[in-house]
Structure 1
Amino acid sequence: MDFNGIDLNLLAAFNALMTERNVTRAATQVGVSQPAMSAALARLRKVVGDPLFLRSAEGLLPTPRARELAEPIAQALRQIEAVLVTRPGFDAASSRLAFTLGMSDYPAFVLLPGLLRALDQQAPGVTVNVHAFNDRDHAVDLLDAGVIDAAIGVLPTHLDGRILTRPIFSDSFVTIVARDHPAADHGMDLATYLQQRHVLASPEGERHGLVDQALAQLGQQRTLALTLPHMFAVPAVVAASHMVATVMKRVALHSAARPRLAMLPPPVALPKITSHLLWHRRANEHPAQRWFRGVIKAVALGV
């Protein structure tokens, strides 16, 4: 294809480089050799007058100009594809596809039972592989690399047009204490809260969570007696001690230790935590991927 002297195949090469961030993988996506992709990148740089992609230990990093061009070019290619290509339909009932879903323990706990029940009813031949991640930005890397089809978690620290998101469910925080803790009957104000020994669940290994951020804004600090990466162990730890924890409500409600716990409103203002469905723009129009995301969204409405 040629338009006013510009080879439109370069747009496909640019889009592949933007999504893959790797010359070899981009070449595979477009169906050309690695040298041909390298030559296309050189031509792109000459046409645009910008380096577009800089090499780094993490792969090719797009320049600001490349980020500016990414969505308009991707949209143009989608429009061309919509005109020229008739996509086959997707029959969920007869499908034998396997989807890989990136998620940490909490969204897996909330969504997986309902998701697998829905899949069993709608598409008994479809299987799901769960790929764990703890770092919110790791989900973007996994989507970029094509390791996962979608992810569920909090929003990454930085998003650009290649990663699409949708909020699917939220949860609020509660403070939990053992049933025999004095606060179980009398409640817990901020002064009492600060006198306690606290448990912090931190999948990423940090010793500073949302509660600590809220307290810091008040010029206060709590005493951490225990940090651990497993949030679902926290209720049992609290029920067997006089320590205090502030956790997402579903974690406490569905714990086996729930009968031995009291749930209290946190004495500091904390935001609700919203989990998002994330997917890569290159999979946005794929019929099977669209169906899978639709099932996830429908299940999330009922949690």
Structure 2
Amino acid sequence: MRFKGLDLNLLIALHVLLEEHNVTRAAARMHVGQTAMSAALSRLRSHFDDELLIHSGRQMMPTALAETIRRPLREAIQHIEAVVDIDRGFVPIDSNRCFRMEMPEHLVPVLLPILTRLTFLHAPGISLDVRPSSGDPSPLLQRNELDLVVTPSIYSNPNFASEPLLTNALVLVGWSKNPALQKQPDLATVMSLQQIIVKFDRARLSSILTQEQLSLYGGGDRTALVAPNFSCIPSCLIGTSRISLLFNGLAKLATAELPIIIWKVPIPMPSMPEVMMFHPMRRKDAALGWLRGKLREAVAEAGL
């Protein structure tokens, strides 16, 4: 279809080109050949009488006109997507939707098995594509490549819609036969023990923790192991006198399978609210609303 002399399909190509800044990546994303994408760019340049994208090293940078076009074009594409995705009466049992989600690694073993069972029981045709958190998910939400993101509220983006999901509490964990953990440890005991931690954004945490609270996360000689993820920490504690701070959901799950003991952290620690974040244009997406409801059910069943 043409509008004012322009093939409207070319606007989709321009939208992707302005996001990727690369013809090859844009072609892959649109599932067309590089030659076809180059031809589309050539036609766009002819229509707008502007280069639109110019080479700068290995990337292509937008011209001033392209920068002017970028935002209204993106908003137009999003409105079109919203029209296409309107639910004509979402029926879970009949749906074959695939939901693309991002979830913190420490919540995956706690919530995903329950969520998978709930979706299977109520909507067996629905599938889930769940990936662990990695960097800022905002561009993926903006491009409609993610439907839902579960994230700590301190990482949420105010440009997107969000709803509370759960509140995590930190607990102290260690091997159940650790002599230092046969009773509730005091602060001096905790500070004398080596720790297992994961790499974290200390600067971001320092905005919500006092220096004393932050000191419980190890440092220097007290850090015996920097683990690749939270899920492997409980098994790494067994047979050692080391300790770790874990979120309560993952800690409770570990005690059901491993000789792990849980104690309170000896000083008050702030809780960590987690939210569900999604594009504001998806507020009326009944299917996505259903999924958020199932996530809340999973949280309740997990006792979080």
Equivalent residue in structure 2 for 1:172, among 146, 169, 186: 169
Cα separation, 1, equivalents of 2:184 and 2:90: 57
Equivalent residue in structure 1 for 2:190, among 193, 200, 204: 193
Cα separation, 2, equivalents of 1:262 and 1:285: 39
Cα separation, 2, equivalents of 1:107 and 1:289: 22
Aligned residue in 2 for 1:245: 244
Aligned residue in 1 for 2:109: 109
Amino acid at match of 2:297: V
Question: Would the aligned equivalents of 2:168 and 2:273 in 1 still touch at CA under 8 Å?
Answer: yes
TM-score, length-scaled by structure 1 = 0.64
CA shift for structure 1 position 159: 6.2
CA shift for structure 1 position 300: 5.5
Spell out the pairing of 1:1-303 with structure 2 (5 A cutoff).
1-2=3-4, 12-18=12-18, 22-25=25-28, 33-39=36-42, 42=45, 72-79=72-79, 88-103=88-103, 105-130=105-130, 132-133=131-132, 135-137=134-136, 149-154=147-152, 166-179=163-176, 180-182=178-180, 184-185=182-183, 187-189=185-187, 191-200=188-197, 202=198, 206=199, 210=202, 217=211, 221-222=219-220, 223-255=222-254, 256=256, 260-265=260-265, 267=267, 270-278=269-277, 284=282, 290=288, 293-299=291-297, 302=300, 303=304
CA shift for structure 1 position 73: 3.9
CA RMSD of aligned residues (A): 5.0
**1:42-73 per-position Cα deviation (integer Å, ceiling 9, x unaligned):** 369767xx96787676x767799978865544
Task: Give the 3 Å change call, closer, same or farther, for CA 54–250 of structure 1 in structure 2.
Answer: farther
CA shift for structure 1 position 156: 10
Cα separation, 2, equivalents of 1:181 and 1:212: 34
* More RCO (CA 8 Å, sep 6+): 2
Amino acid at match of 1:171: N
SS of residue in 2 equivalent to 1:232? coil
SS of residue in 1 equivalent to 2:186? coil
Cα separation, 1, equivalents of 2:53 and 2:236: 52
**Which 5+ residue runs of structure 1 have no aligned equivalent?**
none
Amino acid at match of 1:112: L
**1:92-142 per-position Cα deviation (integer Å, ceiling 9, x unaligned):** 212334444444542222322332232123212223344x445334x5676
SS of residue in 2 equivalent to 1:193? helix
Cα separation, 2, equivalents of 1:20 and 1:232: 34
Amino acid at match of 2:167: S
Question: Would the aligned equivalents of 1:166 and 1:278 in 2 still touch at CA under 8 Å?
Answer: yes
Amino acid at match of 1:128: L
Amino acid at match of 1:261: I
State the identity %. Answer: 20
**Which 5+ residue runs of structure 2 have no aligned equivalent?**
none
Cα separation, 1, equivalents of 2:211 and 2:64: 34
CA shift for structure 1 position 83: 7.7
CA shift for structure 1 position 273: 3.4
Count of aligned residue pairs for this structure pair? 285
SS of residue in 1 equivalent to 2:183? helix
Question: Would the aligned equivalents of 2:180 and 2:189 in 1 still touch at CA under 8 Å?
Answer: no
